[in-house]
Amino acid sequence: MKVSCLHENITKGLSIVGRAVASRSTLPVLGNVLLSTDQSGLKLSATNLEMGITCWIGAKVHEEGSTTLPAKTLIDLVGTLPRERIDLELDARTQTMQVACAEFTNEIKCIGSDEFPVLPSAEDEHDLEINVSNLREMIDQVVFVAATDDSRPVLTGVEVKIENGILTFAAADGFRLAVCTSALSGSDDTHVDVIIPARALAELARIIGDESDVVSITMPPNGGQVIFRVRDVELVCQLIEGKFPDYQQLLPDSYQTRVVMSTEKFLGACRAAQIFARESSYAVTLSVKSGDNPGEDRVEVSANAAETGSNESSIESSLDGDPVEIAFNVRYLTEVLRVIGTPDVALETNGEASPGVLRPVGRDDFVSVVMPMHVGR
């Protein structure tokens, strides 16, 4: 194997696939990156067995071949090399890769590519395509809600459903829920109901970045996996087995209180309150008050800390229904307000012991439910 490539190309490729390298594994090869010549270019792959990422970069291939190199060593080394052409030459007998750039010459011990797990590829077939900006927004709106505790594996994933031409993402962790939808073109007969690891979707959002393109999605016929492809990158991940909770019962059909306020001002108030709420399990109290005259309705956001002090913000609002005082985890409010995406947000509830439902005003494609907290008075 003998290949030449630009410093910027291999740097970008390693930054993409490096996130899939296993941090701790009993299999040494999972700590490596697979380098293989492919279609007059260089293919880089890494996997932790739950998620795999493959990236194709431009390169001049002098001799075909493949091997795996320690990811950390290669990434750290490339980071120190000058921004010039990098030449890679493998001694197949000793499995040693010579990495040369300008006046620098290095040799890295490799592990044969035959020990690296085979990653499925979408090739030229795919089940559906989604606009990148739509997919990234949907991922951002739900992925932070998924549980990080593995005690209930299904909650560490995002339920992805396609039914009647509608794509739905849903995530929950037992304390909150987020659901977003998007209409798909040309997929009325497609039916999908799977649970994708939230970490894999978060990585996909990072990979696609600001690309103005489409993401193709493939479900291999043997099941158990999903493959995403955008331009020169493929991400494959294992699906989570199990049944996602029926969250429809958490979405109330009616409300006793609905208050509309500026998303930016509500978010600002929550950020300020969070500083003082750290000592009290991040509990903040929302006091929804009715004004004597039109335009005088207010929402007061307050937090108290015995050691630090107290905080209170008053936000102009529009109230429909009964005044209420209700407490929430302010971190949950802050995270959802960051992704609301509209100038105004509506908070709906049926009382201090009922969940709070947050919706972007003017859009019906996103909803979030946050369970209330009990605060002793």
- Residue 96 sits in a domain whose CATH number is 3.10.150.10
For residues 256 and 321, is the Cβ–Cβ distance under 8 A? yes
Q: Residues 292, 358: one domain? A: yes
84 closest CA partner among 2, 8, 191, 155: 8
What distances in angstroms separate CA 160 from CA 157, 226, 243, 265, 270, one per listed residue?
9, 11, 12, 32, 30
Does a structural domain hold residue 245? no
- Same domain assignment for residues 86 and 140: no
Domain boundary among 238, 265, 288: 238
pLDDT by position in tens, the chain (length 377): 999 999 999 999 999 999 999 988 889 999 999 999 987 899 999 999 999 999 999 999 999 999 999 999 999 999 999 999 999 999 999 999 999 999 999 999 999 999 999 998 876 566 788 888 889 999 999 999 999 988 899 999 999 999 888 999 999 999 999 999 998 876 667 788 999 999 999 999 999 876 668 888 998 877 789 999 988 999 999 999 999 999 998 898 899 999 999 999 999 999 999 999 988 899 999 999 998 887 789 999 999 988 889 999 999 999 999 999 999 999 999 999 999 999 999 999 999 999 999 999 999 999 999 999 987 65
CA 184 – CA 162 distance, rounded (Å): 9
Does 55 lie in the same domain as 16? yes
Query: Is there a single domain that holds both residue 138 and residue 85?
Result: no
For the chain, what is the domain count? 3
- Amino acid 171: pLDDT: 98
Structural domain boundaries, residue 281: 255-370
Q: Is residue 377 part of a domain?
A: no
For the beta sheet containing 104-109, the strands, ordered from the edge strand earlier in sequence to the opposite edge, are: 60-63, 2-6, 85-91, 96-101, 104-109
Domain assignment of residue 358, yes or no: yes
Identify whether 120 is part of a domain. Answer: no
Burial status of residue 89 (CB atoms within 10 A of its CB: 0-12, 13-18, 19 or more)? middle
Residue 279 falls inside a structural domain = yes
Q: Are residues 334 and 280 in the same domain?
A: yes
Residue with tokens 């739900």: 142
- Answer yes or no: is 123 within a domain: no
Cα atoms in the Cβ-side hemisphere of radius 13 Å centred on 207: 29
The Cα–Cα gap between 332 and 301 comes to 14
Q: Identify whether residues 135 and 87 lie together within a single domain.
A: no
Query: Is residue 31 a part of any domain in this protein?
Result: yes
Residue 249 lies in a domain: no
For residues 167 and 99, state if they share a domain: no
Global pTM reads 0.90
> Is there a single domain that holds both residue 262 and residue 345?
yes
Quick one: 259 and 366 in the same domain? yes
In this structure, the answer to whether residues 100 and 132 fall within a common structural domain is: no
Are 204 and 271 contained in the same domain?
no
